[in-house]
Amino acid sequence: MRKGTYTGSRCPYSVRYDRHDRSAGVVSECRSTPTGYRVNRNQQPTVARRTDELVVRQFGDETVVYDLSTERVTALDAATAAVWSAAEQPATLSDIEASTGQSEEDVAAALVKLDGADLLQESGVSRRLLLKRIGLVTAGVVALPVVTAAPAWAACSGSAQALTARQTGCDGSGSGSQITLTLTLSGFADGAVSITSSTFKNQSGNDATVATSVTVPTNTSCGTFITTITFKISQTIPSQTITVTATQGSFTASATGVTLTPCG
């Protein structure tokens, strides 16, 4: 197997091969990279991830990418997501190997998957070269999982999620003070939204948190929805400050510095 060497501007995205000619001696010529030829790893072309019209969400160890232009959802496993993340700026295969700690074959396999899912920009790295790097003659790499139906949260992917919370009521007739918080949620899809809070002191003086849910109706999906929640706090503490968080799928919004004042 002959070894090619990149020669910069003289042979952009191609390889110079030196061949011996009886009359002319060594003759150099530019050619496109032929299948099976090795490229000088110190002068590799670069690859870069797509960023336009994509919504990216994290679900545990999985990264889910929603393509707004095709309405296609692609799930990336942790290893493939690491390669995709490493190519946020144009990077060579060697750069990505060093950044992720993955082998050349694993990086090439991940890039083939990402290319097949249309998650890479156009680059000088050909799919055929990547397949050769992992010892494949044809595109035998397992494709990334693709969800044909967009998840519920994707319907509001173009909206900014926001949450405000403020105390609007207090009942001190029983033990402790029952607080009413008015929540304003913006940009959440119709369906259940989980509401949690940081720690506060309850009516018994113990640490407690809010853990409940509210339901956004269809007619306010991706818009503004106002609702209330109630819980009890200590009457002996002049005021407490908490953070309230709303979560729906991969959407999260928080209201910080929410003041709780007892009554009664």
The amino acid occupying position 120 is L
Q: Which residue has the tokens 């990279």?
A: 33
Banded pLDDT at 130 (limits 50, 70, 90): low
Please tell me the predicted confidence (pLDDT) of residue 38. Answer: 39
Q: Which residue has the tokens 């095709």?
A: 70
Please tell me the predicted confidence (pLDDT) of residue 20. Answer: 41
How is residue 190 written in tokens? 């119709």
In percent, how much of the chain has pLDDT > 70?
Answer: 69
The domain limits of the chain are 1-43, 46-150, 154-260
The overall average pLDDT reported for the chain is: 77
Res. 70: pLDDT tops 80: no
Distance (Å, whole) CA 189 – CA 32: 50
Please tell me the predicted confidence (pLDDT) of residue 116. Answer: 81
Residues 174-230 have pLDDT tens digits of: 888 999 999 999 999 888 899 999 999 999 999 999 999 999 998 898 899 999 999
Residues 24-67 have pLDDT tens digits of: 444 444 444 333 333 444 456 788 888 887 878 776 677 888 88
CATH of domain 154-260: 2.60.40
Q: Which fold has domain 46-150?
A: Outer Surface Protein A; domain 3 (3.90.930)
CB 2 within 8 A of CB 15: no
